């Protein structure tokens, strides 16, 4: 592991802080158990000094693993119906509990959930951001579900691409393969992201290269966080459990539904913590905003190394609800003509 030399501090510089990547198992399709576990993990990370805590993609109520283990729409009706029942309404009781956990920890918390609208059955792969005061600061719905994910998740829109100010730097990020979308990355770079949260299910060394590339390209800290779930941790009472995970995604690693792959990367692309695989663990690394600023003297993707006279990016940040309501005022009655006598 390589580290950058310390940079002398002057008044006004943001304080360094510890960032945590929480790699853990979810309790598949059990929302309340997942919330309980998330709250306990947030507390554990805070006890170890973390002021920013990032948890995996779709941690509540767990990832729809059947989309990778079964043919699409082949015997998945019971699983999907249960997933809709266990999905998270935002805001709602789950966000209240997660906010309370963030407040008790005194930490910023980033966590992935499967979201549904209060009266809807379409689900969204959503990342929630909480402040240390417990407030739900923002949410991000994944813009483009990947491959078989499109049989489960809808598409987000440009209204949920938040960039948040914290005392330690600006916080944002993208979800899993969204991180391969160069225009989405640039849009966030242009808003000065200092800490990039990347909750994910992606496995393998190729994903680690992606995390390191984003750190070097954005000159920011990157926290990539995966779940880590063994096949024997799938709840015994799940419908059709014997068909849920036959271990076909990776026959050489069939014991693991989610093997992990979490990592924390510095703005120069060096790995500060991880990669962690095949274990539940909390990775910690120090984030120092001065290192971000120093790295951008050499390359700033949306600043001195950008050519806005040649390249332009237009971003539609308007929400796209399923309908818009319009009301037309009733027309004034037209008086009958007064006929002459």
Q: What is the DSSP string of 190-242?
A: TTT-SEEEEE----SHHHHHHHHHHHHHHTSEEEEE--EEEGGGS-TTSTTHH
Task: Single out the catalytic residue among 115, 142, 220, 228.
Answer: 142
- Report the C-alpha gap between 155 and 144 in whole angstroms: 6
- Of 215, 289, 202, the closest CA to residue 250 belongs to 202
State yes or no: is 220 an active-site residue.
no
Residue pair 93/67 in contact (Cβ under 8 Å)? The answer is: no
Q: What is the DSSP string of 69-127?
A: HS-TTSS-HHHHHHHHHH-B-SSSHHHHHHHHHHHHHTSEEEEEEEEE-TT---EEEEE
**How buried is residue 247: exposed, middle or buried, by Cβ count under 10 Å (0-12/13-18/19+)?**
middle
- In the chain the first and final C-alpha atoms are separated, in Å, by 103
The CA-CA-CA angle for residues 259, 98, 180, to 5°, reads 45
Task: Single out the catalytic residue among 57, 115, 178, 258.
Answer: 57
Task: Single out the catalytic residue among 37, 115, 149, 176.
Answer: 176
- Report the C-alpha gap between 23 and 130 in whole angstroms: 18
Q: How many CA atoms lie within 13 A of 15 on its CB side?
A: 6
State yes or no: is 228 an active-site residue.
no
- Report the C-alpha gap between 211 and 205 in whole angstroms: 10
Q: Name every residue whose Cβ is closer than 8 Å to that of residue 50 and which is 6 or more positions away in sequence.
A: 18, 19, 20, 107, 282, 284
**Alpha-carbon torsion angle 281, 291, 266, 133, nearest 10:** 40
State yes or no: is 57 an active-site residue.
yes
What residues are labeled active site? Answer: 57, 142, 176
């Amino acid at each position: 592991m390589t580290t950058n030399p310390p940079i002398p501090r002057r008044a006004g510089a943001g304080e360094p802080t510890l960032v945590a990547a929480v790699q853990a198992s979810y309790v598949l399709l059990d929302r309340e158990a997942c919330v309980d576990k998330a709250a306990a993990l947030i507390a554990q990370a805070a006890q170890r000094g973390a002021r920013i805590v990032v948890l995996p993609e779709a941690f509540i109520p767990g990832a729809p693993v059947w989309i990778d283990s079964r043919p699409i729409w082949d015997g998945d009706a019971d699983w999907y119906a249960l997933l809709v029942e266990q999905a998270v309404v935002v805001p709602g009781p789950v966000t209240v509990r997660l906010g309370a956990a963030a407040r008790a920890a005194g930490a910023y918390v980033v966590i992935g959930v499967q979201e549904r609208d209060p009266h809807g059955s379409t689900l969204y792969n959503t990342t929630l951001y909480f402040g240390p005061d417990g407030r739900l600061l923002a949410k991000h719905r994944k813009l483009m579900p990947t491959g078989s994910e499109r049989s489960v998740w809808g598409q987000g829109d440009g209204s949920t691409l938040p960039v948040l100010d914290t005392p330690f730097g600006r916080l944002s990020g993208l979800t899993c393969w969204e991180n391969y979308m160069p225009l989405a990355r640039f849009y966030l770079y242009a808003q000065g992201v200092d800490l990039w949260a990347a909750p994910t299910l992606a496995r393998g060394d190729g994903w680690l290269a992606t995390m390191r590339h984003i750190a070097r390209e954005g000159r920011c800290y990157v926290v990539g966080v995966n779940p880590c779930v063994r096949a024997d941790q799938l709840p015994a009472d799940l419908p059709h459990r014997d068909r849920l995970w036959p271990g076909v995604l990776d026959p050489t690693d069939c014991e693991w539904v989610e093997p992990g792959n979490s990592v924390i990367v510095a703005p120069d692309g060096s790995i500060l913590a991880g990669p962690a695989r095949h274990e539940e663990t909390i990775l910690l690394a120090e984030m120092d905003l001065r290192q971000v600023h120093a790295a951008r003297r050499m390359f700033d993707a949306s600043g001195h190394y950008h050519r806005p006279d040649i390249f332009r990016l237009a971003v539609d940040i308007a929400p796209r609800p399923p309908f818009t309501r319009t009301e037309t005022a009733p027309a004034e009655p037209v008086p009958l003509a007064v006929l002459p006598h």
